[in-house]
Amino acid sequence: MEILSFFTFLFSLTLLSTLELSFAADTITSRQYIRDGETLTSSSQRYELGFFSPGNSNNRFLGIWYKITPQVIVWVANRNKPIPDKTGVLTISSNGSLVLIDEGKRILWSSNSSRILANPEAQLLDSGNFILRESTDRSSENYMWQSFDYPSDTLLAGMKLGWNLKTGFERYLTSWRSVDDPSVTDFSYRLEINDAPQLYISTSSKKVARSGPWNGVQFGGIPMAHNKVFKPMVVHNEDELYYMYKPFDDTVLTRIIVNQSSGTMQRFVFNKGSGAWDILYSWPFDTCDHFEQCGANSNCRTSRTPMCECLKGFVPKSQDDWGTPQTTTCVKKSQESDCPDREGFLKLVRMKVPDNNWSNQSMNTQECRAKCLKNCSCMAYANSDISGKGSGCLMWSGDLTDIKECSGSFSWGQDLYIRVPASELGLIKFLDVLCSKIS
């Protein structure tokens, strides 16, 4: 901020101190501010914004929480810049940005908006989104800045997890360091934009777990379809590619957090009866969800021993490695090429499909199969959309990695077709291969 405007701003703070908020407002304008102890409350009393101390810490942070459970913080502004005392003030600076300053008038956080506003106002919406806009432009959603664009560790209903494809701007979750410290860690939950988008948890840019690609219903490896609480969706258009969810019932509170201390992403639902937050599911779900728990071309099965098993048509590269997770790499049984004449596809059901590779949404299943069969480097195929009878095409070349057999009573996973020598398929399948080549 320029020296001049900074002093004008401080001066106006002193002058206008009689205008402090003494009522449950959801909006501040450039003439108002929020001091430690004062809060904004969204119109239906769902969310509250103000200063808080996390866990056993005495540090103060500006954040948003559920009014009904104030200990559940859903967003933090000054994550890496704690205020050691209660002198924090949030206001709108003379150029129209939100700024958080402390007693020493240091700027601890600002909204980083790129346009100077004439009549700015900041409002805490009932969605939990804290927005900054021109007060003359209330009807549009043309916000100058919004907290939903800068998530902390929490994904609320209506928030986007993913990418602006035009600008390369990514919205993703990063966990708190500990319950006492909301500072940003590299433990994150994000959307990977390959041909087929998938969610993953990573730390230091290493994948910890991946969801499997979005298949039109859910991310194959996270059992979220057919739940009664929320509808998951992936939006893909020219400008954006993101994951988002909506509760079926707007009065139901649900949230996702990414939690470094448990190493998981957790989905909570507020239980009105008990007044507590119940965990609907957490993910990684089981050992097989840990990224590349088993080596290449092997299948991870949580409930079996050994957990890792070579796919049909593959054998352990080294017999000594057998059964040792991660080190068991499997290689093709027969090295001499049968391809493409004496090969076919084996169907594996309820699979988290391999880490993704190539896709074509407009191909149908037959075209997909034919294209994969023709190309000897194609190792497997699957539908990219299983919402109807199955459509779209995913194909994998090279080693098949991070495959899991989805077990239990959930409805998850999908059919995966792996290329195997016809000798592995049995007579009927062999005929099937021949017939499909003739037809």
Ligand X SMILES: *[C@@H]1O[C@H](CO)[C@@H](O)[C@H](O)[C@H]1NC(C)=O
Residues making contact with ligand X (CB under 6 A): 1, 93, 95, 97, 99, 107, 110, 112, 114, 116, 179, 194, 257, 259, 261-262, 357-358, 360, 362-363, 367, 375, 377-378, 397-398
Smallest CA-to-CA distance from 419 within 393, 391, 392, 400 is with: 400
Both tokens assigned to 385: 């959309």
Report, in Å, the least distance between residue 427 CB and ligand X.
29
Q: How far is the CB of 305 from ligand X (least distance, A)?
A: 28
R_g of the chain computed on alpha carbons: 26
Q: Residue 149: helix, strand or coil by DSSP?
A: helix
For residues 222 and 285, the answer to whether their CB atoms sit within 8 Å is yes
The minimum distance between CB 120 and ligand X, in angstroms, equals 11
Q: What's the min distance (Å) between Cβ of 39 and ligand X?
A: 21
Sheet holding 206-213, edge to edge: 173-174, 188-192, 198-203, 206-213
Please report how close the Cβ of residue 411 comes to ligand X at its closest, in angstroms.
27
CB closer to ligand X out of 262 and 334: 262
Looking at beta carbons only, is 364 or 407 nearer to ligand X?
A: 364
Complex with ligand X: residue 245 or 268, whichever CB lies closer: 268
271-307 as b/e, with b when 16 or more CB fall inside 10 Å?
eeeeeebeeebbbbbbebbbbbbbbbbbbbbbeeeeb
Nearest to 254 by CA among 266, 265, 270: 270
Residue nearest to ligand X (CB): 1
Shortest reach from residue 140's CB to ligand X, in Å: 20
Q: Which is nearer to ligand X, 259 or 287 (CB)?
A: 259
Q: For ligand X, which is the closer residue by CB, 7 or 248?
A: 7
Instruction: Pick the closer one to ligand X by CB: 305 or 362.
Output: 362
Cis previous bond, 213, omega within 30: no
